[in-house]
Structure 1
C-alpha cells in the first residue's frame, strides 16, 4: 500500500513538475453520457432539456485514488439553432482537489439528415494541492517541493465541432487552450502548466433486427507528453430499453457497462473497470454510475429515446 501511495504522490509531482506532462483532465468510462465535459458543441444536440449526473470511484481500495463527480444540464434555444449548457464538477486525486464550473454555447446548423454544431466553452477552476499533508517519512520537512500548498483560481477555454444524426455522431474538440501555471507563486517549485487536451469521438447505431441494435463508439484522447489513449466501446441494445456493453481502454482497463432506459425520461448507467496493468494487484476495480433525466415533452407527447 505504501508503494501505491507513492505512485499517487508521484502523479501529483508529475502534474506540477517541470516539463513532465500527463492526462490532467478526469476520464470517464461512460464518456458517451458526459460529452458536454469534453465538447461544448454537444450542447442542445438532444433537442430537449437534459440533466445528467455522474460519479466515478477509480481504483477502489487505493487510498488517494481519483474520485470524480459531475452535474451537467443543456438545452436547445431559438428554434433549436442555439444550444446552451452548464456543468459543475469536482475531481480529487490524493492531495489534489479541483472544483469547477463551465458554461458552453453551440451554434447549430440543421442539415438534411442531422445537425452540425460549433461550440465554445469557458470554465473556472479552483485548483488545490495540499502538499504539506504528504507524509515524507524520515525526510519529513526536508523537501522544499512539499513545503507549501498550492491554491489557485484558473480560467480557461475550449472549443469543438459536433455532427449528429439519429444514428451517428462525430465530434472533435480542444480543451484547456490557455497554458495556466500550476506551480506556486514563490518560485520554490518546479514549473508546471495546463496542457491542451484533444478529443475525437464517434459512434454509430447499427440495426440488427426489430429488437436489437449494436452501438459501437470510440473516444481518442491526446495531450502533450503523454501517449495517445483510446476507449473502444460496443453496446448491444435490446428493444431500446436495456443496453449491455464492453469497453477496452488502451494499456489500462477492460470494462463492462449496463444501461437502462427506465422511462422515456430517465436513463441510468453503470460501468465497472478492471485494470490490465500491475495496478490490478492493488485495487478492486473502478466504478461509475450515471443518471440522466430529460424534460422531453412536446405537444403533450414524450419524445422517443435518443441514442446519443
Structure 2
C-alpha cells in the first residue's frame, strides 16, 4: 500500500514541477561529500595532488518502491607543471518514473599562496551534458490523461558550473554554482503551461583540521546548499581520522536526517566508505523507508 502511494506521489510531484516551474532540489545529495569534494565543486578537481578514480552508490529511503537511487563514477588528476586539475563525473540518478543521466567535465587552475604548493586557491569551470527521461508507462498507469504522455519522454540538455576552492593543510573552503545556463526541459508545451527548467544551485563547504596527537585528526565540516526561491539546506558534522587508516564520523542534515559514516584506507591508496542516513518525520513513518545507504570506493595512484 505504501509503495503505491509513493509511486502516485512521485508522479504527481513531477507533473506539478513541470507545470508550475516549481523550484525544488534537482541535484542529488551525497552524504560523504567531504571525501569527494569535486562532485559539487569543479574547482576541487586535483586537490589531492594525485590521480584518483572511484565511485559512489546511494540508495535513499531504502525499502520504498521507486525511491531515489544514484550511481556515480569519477576520476581526477593534477598536473603540477601546469597548476591544473582535470576531472570527470558520470552519474545516473533515478527516482520513481524519472531518471537523470549525465556527465561533467571539470578543469581547475591553482594559484599558489606564499609560493607554497600546499596552500592553493583553486578556480574551476565545468561543462555538463544531461539526459532526462520519464517512464511514460508508469505515469499512464496512474494518470492516463497526463499531457506528458504525448511527449517523447526524453530530452538532452547542456549546462555549466563554476567554483572556487581554498586548500591549505588546516583549512578548506569551497563555493560553487551549478546549472548556470538553466535550460528549459521542454517536455510539455501548451498555452497554459510554463515549461519546467533546471535551476541554479549554490554550494558552500568548509572544514578545519584539528590535530589532537600524532595519530589522530578531527575534521569538523559544514555544507550549505542553496537555491533561489527554496529554503537553504544545512548539513554539518565531524570526522575522526586515525593514521590515514580509518575514519569515522557523524553529521546532521537540518530538519531532515542524521548520518553515521566510516571508512577504511588500505595501503594509503584504496579507500572504502559507508554511510547510513536516518530520516526524520515524516519519511520515517513509512514501513522500511527510514534510511539511506551509501557506499563509496576510491583509489589513489600514489607511488
Fold shared, TM-score > 0.5 on shorter chain = yes
In the other structure, the counterpart of 2:182 is 179
2:101 aligned residue (75, 99, 102):
99
In the other structure, the counterpart of 1:296 is 302
Comparing 196-205 and 181-190, the one that deviates more: 181-190
Q: How big is each residue's C-alpha offset from its partner over 1:114-141, in whole Å with a ceiling of 9 and x where there is no partner?
A: 111110000101111123422554xx52
Asked if 1 retains the 8 angstrom alpha-carbon contact of 2:147 and 2:188, the reply is no
In the other structure, the counterpart of 2:73 is 71
In the other structure, the counterpart of 2:147 is 144
In the other structure, the counterpart of 1:27 is 29
Shift of the 251–91 alpha-carbon distance from structure 1 to 2, 3 Å rule, reads same
1:223 aligns with 2:227: yes
SS at match of 1:134: helix
In the other structure, the counterpart of 2:113 is 111
Comparing 183-192 and 172-181, the one that deviates more: 183-192
Shift of the 145–88 alpha-carbon distance from structure 1 to 2, 3 Å rule, reads closer
Structure 1 unaligned blocks of 5 or more = 298-308
1:200 aligns with 2:200: no
The 2-side partners of 1:143 and 1:292 are apart by 43
Task: Name the TM-score, length of structure 2 as normaliser.
Answer: 0.92
Deviation at 1:271, TM superposition (A): 0.2
SS at match of 2:249: strand
Deviation at 1:269, TM superposition (A): 0.7
Structure 2 unaligned blocks of 5 or more = none
The 2-side partners of 1:209 and 1:193 are apart by 50
Comparing 205-214 and 269-278, the one that deviates more: 205-214
Asked if 2 retains the 8 angstrom alpha-carbon contact of 1:132 and 1:147, the reply is no
Q: How big is each residue's C-alpha offset from its partner over 1:213-247, in whole Å with a ceiling of 9 and x where there is no partner?
A: 11111110011232100111111222332211111
Deviation at 1:183, TM superposition (A): 3.2
Q: How big is each residue's C-alpha offset from its partner over 1:184-229, in whole Å with a ceiling of 9 and x where there is no partner?
A: 2543854211000000001111111222211111110011232100
Asked if 1 retains the 8 angstrom alpha-carbon contact of 2:140 and 2:146, the reply is no
Asked if 2 retains the 8 angstrom alpha-carbon contact of 1:14 and 1:22, the reply is no
Q: How big is each residue's C-alpha offset from its partner over 1:267-291, in whole Å with a ceiling of 9 and x where there is no partner?
A: 1110000001211122041000001
SS at match of 1:79: helix
In the other structure, the counterpart of 1:257 is 261
In the other structure, the counterpart of 1:83 is 85
Deviation at 1:261, TM superposition (A): 1.4
Shift of the 80–48 alpha-carbon distance from structure 1 to 2, 3 Å rule, reads farther
**Where in structure 1 do 4 or more consecutive aligned residues deviate above 4 Å?**
none
The 1-side partners of 2:232 and 2:270 are apart by 34
1:157 aligned residue (134, 156, 160):
160
Asked if 2 retains the 8 angstrom alpha-carbon contact of 1:212 and 1:239, the reply is yes
In the other structure, the counterpart of 2:238 is 234
Asked if 1 retains the 8 angstrom alpha-carbon contact of 2:283 and 2:290, the reply is no
In the other structure, the counterpart of 2:136 is 131
In the other structure, the counterpart of 2:279 is 275
Comparing 231-240 and 97-106, the one that deviates more: 231-240
SS at match of 2:23: coil
The 1-side partners of 2:98 and 2:276 are apart by 24
Deviation at 1:16, TM superposition (A): 2.2
